Amino acid sequence: MTYSIANAKRQFSDLVKRAAYKGETVTVGTRGKPEAALISVEELRRLQDLELERDARLLADAVRRSTGTVGIEELLRAWGDVHPPGKATVTRTTPAKTSPRKPASKRHRAKGSR
């Protein structure tokens, strides 16, 4: 079952408990189309471990098949992430940094004072 975003907001605490303690996968979306999911931290770690194991196997296979030096294109092709030259994509995984704020002592000074 996919919860609407509005319903998920109203039931957020309950949905988190269902994912965390009952091991349920709770999907949230709009118009019945899933867009996000809540899973337990345990399930997240299991999925991350599986991904690491897969990456290690793919790397070992690429090294085993290579005839010496492995070019970046061959390595990326083995991982299934090839983008045409000059068309690489970058995905931001951390929030963009904002410009630093001025120290409070300078922000709240009265006009004309130093």
Residue by residue, pLDDT tens for the chain (114 residues) are 899 999 999 999 999 999 999 999 999 999 989 999 999 999 999 999 999 999 999 988 888 887 777 678 877 887 775 555 555 454 445 555 555 555 555 555 555 555
Predicted local distance difference test score (pLDDT) of residue 98: 53
Predicted local distance difference test score (pLDDT) of residue 64: 83
Give CA–CA dist 6/13, Å, rounded. Answer: 13
Say if pTM beats, i.e. exceeds, 0.75: no
Predicted local distance difference test score (pLDDT) of residue 92: 45
Give CA–CA dist 7/29, Å, rounded. Answer: 10
Please check whether residue 82 is in contact with residue 76, taking contact to mean a CB–CB distance below 8 angstroms.
yes
Predicted local distance difference test score (pLDDT) of residue 75: 75
Residue 39 three-state SS = coil
